[in-house]
Structure formats: structure tokens, C-alpha cells
């Protein structure tokens, strides 16, 4: 008995459909949700910032899409994060761990860890777009990986200065030298910054002797 060509094509289509449906059901299904926005309160403590930073790295920041934590054997796409704070203090001469983390986030191409290729996106710009406060929280969490967190929401670094905070490395006011004064004179008030030096005062002239009154001896 010869099976018609149309029937054979139909059977092949049905078999292929059932096969791929079966295979599709064997693949784990994972629902991907948009990242939740994190509320950064102005009174967050350092410990609270650490928790927020961990949530951001696992969620909105997408950090563990490329980085690993606790992986001991490669291959690695980007460096493993275990003990990263201890390494951050010595990666770039002159940069503290906070400054190094900030540079790695705002300018990831500026320093590439030996043995790895560039490719990390700029985290404070779209599509990730972390805010400056969220980045401070991420830095606080990174400090716990091999160190002690010291960051607060008032911490300044080379890429961000919180409102009302002094920029990093801002020089202090230079001391004003004490002006020389005559014995017994009151000390002179310090000169205003930028004002030209004041010329020393000339001594007052001695009073002229009084002329004798007429008609008196």
C-alpha cells in the first residue's frame, strides 16, 4: 500500500511539531522581570547601604551577569569579586579602594585588570543607568568583599561630590601669619584672603611745644 505524498508530509509536520514541543518543555523556563527601582533614603546608614548595594548588584546593576562571586576555577569573563576590596587598594597607585571602585564604574575602560579584555559598560549611563547614590551603595557592598565598609551618602570621590560635601582632596585654608605690632599695641586683625598686604603704620609725629602766652613771665 502506497501512502499518498500529502499524507506523508502531514505526518512529518505533526511528528516535528510534537518533537519540538517535547524538547521545549524540557528547557527550564525563567521569567525575567524589569528591575525594581531602589529607594535611597537620605538617612541610610553604611550597613543599610551595604544591603541596598547588594540588591542593586543582583538586580538593576546586572553585575553578576558577567562577574562571579566565589568561583575558583575559570574561565572568567570578568574578575571574580571575592576579596575585591583588598585588591582594589593596590590596583592603581594613588587610588584608594573607593576611588578605584568609582573609576571602574564611571570609566571602566581606564584600567583593565591584567589578563582580561575590556567590555564592561559604563554603569551610570543607559541602559543600566545607576544614580550616583546607588553607586555609593554598590561601593559600600564591594568594600565588604575583603574589607570593612566606610562609605556614607556624604562620601565624595573624583566623579561625584554630594551636595554640601567637600570635594575629595580639597585644600584647606592657608594659615595667616601673625602681623608684627608695636609693644603694647593690640594685635592686628588678619587680612582678608586675596587682599594686598597692608603697609606698616608710620609712627605718629611728636606734638610741637606750646608757644608761651603773651604778657606772662
Q: Classify residue 162: in a domain, yes or no.
A: no
Spatial CB neighbours of 130, under 8 Å, sequence gap ≥ 6: 56, 60, 61, 105, 123, 124, 138
Q: Classify residue 39: in a domain, yes or no.
A: no
Q: Classify residue 184: in a domain, yes or no.
A: no
Domain assignment of residue 84, given as a range: 46-67+79-144
Does the bond joining 25 to the residue before it have cis omega, within 30 degrees of 0?
Answer: no
Q: Split the chain (217 residues) into runs of 10 and give each run's mean pLDDT.
A: 75 82 61 64 96 96 95 91 97 97 97 95 94 98 98 97 85 43 45 48 50 45
Q: Classify residue 51: in a domain, yes or no.
A: yes
Number of domains in the chain: 1
Q: Classify residue 187: in a domain, yes or no.
A: no
pTM assigned to the model: 0.63
Amino acid at each position: 500500500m502506497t501512502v499518498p505524498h500529502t499524507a506523508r508530509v502531514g505526518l512529518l509536520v505533526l511528528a516535528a511539531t510534537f518533537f519540538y514541543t517535547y524538547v521545549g518543555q524540557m528547557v527550564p523556563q525563567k521569567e525575567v522581570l524589569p528591575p525594581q527601582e531602589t529607594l535611597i533614603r537620605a538617612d541610610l546608614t553604611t550597613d543599610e547601604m551595604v544591603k541596598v548595594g547588594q540588591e542593586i548588584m543582583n538586580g538593576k546593576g546586572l553585575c553578576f551577569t558577567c562577574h562571579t562571586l566565589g568561583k575558583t576555577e575559570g574561565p572568567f569573563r570578568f574578575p571574580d569579586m571575592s576579596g575585591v576590596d583588598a585588591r582594589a587598594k593596590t590596583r592603581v597607585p594613588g587610588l584608594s579602594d573607593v576611588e578605584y571602585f568609582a573609576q571602574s564604574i564611571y570609566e571602566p575602560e581606564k584600567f583593565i585588570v591584567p589578563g582580561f579584555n575590556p567590555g564592561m559598560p559604563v554603569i551610570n549611563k543607559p541602559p543600566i543607568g545607576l544614580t550616583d547614590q546607588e553607586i555609593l551603595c554598590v561601593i559600600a557592598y564591594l568594600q565588604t568583599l575583603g574589607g570593612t565598609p566606610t562609605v556614607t551618602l556624604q562620601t565624595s570621590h573624583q566623579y561625584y561630590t554630594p551636595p554640601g560635601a567637600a570635594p575629595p582632596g580639597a585644600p584647606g585654608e592657608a594659615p595667616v601669619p601673625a602681623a608684627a605690632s608695636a609693644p603694647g599695641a593690640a594685635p592686628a586683625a588678619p587680612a582678608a584672603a586675596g587682599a594686598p598686604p597692608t603697609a606698616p603704620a608710620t609712627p605718629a609725629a611728636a606734638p610741637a611745644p606750646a608757644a608761651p602766652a603773651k604778657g606772662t613771665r
